[in-house]
Amino acid sequence: MKFYDKIRKWWHSNIWSPQIRAKENPYGSCFSHCTCWMLQNIDPVAFRDYLTPDNVTEMINGEQWVAWTAKNIGKNVAKKYYNRLNELWQVNEAFINHLLAESGNDARVKFTISTDIYNVKNHLKKGPVIVSTAPRYNGRTLGHVMLIVGYDEADNFIIDDPFGDFRDGYKYGHLDGGNDIHATIEEFKNILTNYRIYVL
């Protein structure tokens, strides 16, 4: 079986799996959730049983990644985002690739800037995609990320949202309500912004 066929087999078998939630700061770590879920969808054999969003937050804010950020992005950035490096796209890209390589997996991900919603569908042919979004909550726009895990027969995106269901403005405050949302392209393109991480 070819490598990407394996990814698709594992990935599609995990689309409807329950989301693993952070115990620490579950409302403030959307990137840690999506990074964790992305790794688990790419390779559940390596990551499903032990990796949690809390692990991601702890590891990515450790001294190894503080040093990496200072060297590769800048000392000022490392200082500004100290203890919240999990909010930076480039750090998440490098962190995901590091864990994939460490586990012996030859998949790799890439951070890109694109506003074309149809590029997302092309990326989904190889695996899940972390996307930046701007949903509304309590009358204000959030800076937020979600994980797109696929699309259904009706051409709706299947989304894992760490905060719940963006379509109702998160008014119910039910975190697990964001598991496997089937959103139309029209619904989703209204909140999609221009950053994403996808499987190469």
Instruction: Write down all domains in the chain, each with its CATH number in brackets.
Output: 3-13+26-199 (3.90.70.10)
Helix axes 89-102, 63-72, angle to 10 degrees: 120
Percent of the chain surpassing pLDDT 90: 55
Both ends of the chain: CA-CA distance in Å? 18
Would the pLDDT of 100 be above 70? Answer: yes
Q: Model confidence over 108-117: pLDDT tens digits?
A: 999 999 878 8
Q: What is the pTM of this model?
A: 0.87
| pLDDT given at position 115 | 74
Q: Which among 64, 112, 60 is positioned nearest to 87, based on CA atoms?
A: 60
Predicted pLDDT of residue 173: 61
Beta strands in 55-180 (DSSP E): 109-113, 129-133, 136-137, 140-141, 144-151, 157-160
CA 78, chain centre distance (Å):
21
Rounded distance between C-alpha atoms, residue 20 and residue 18, angstroms: 6
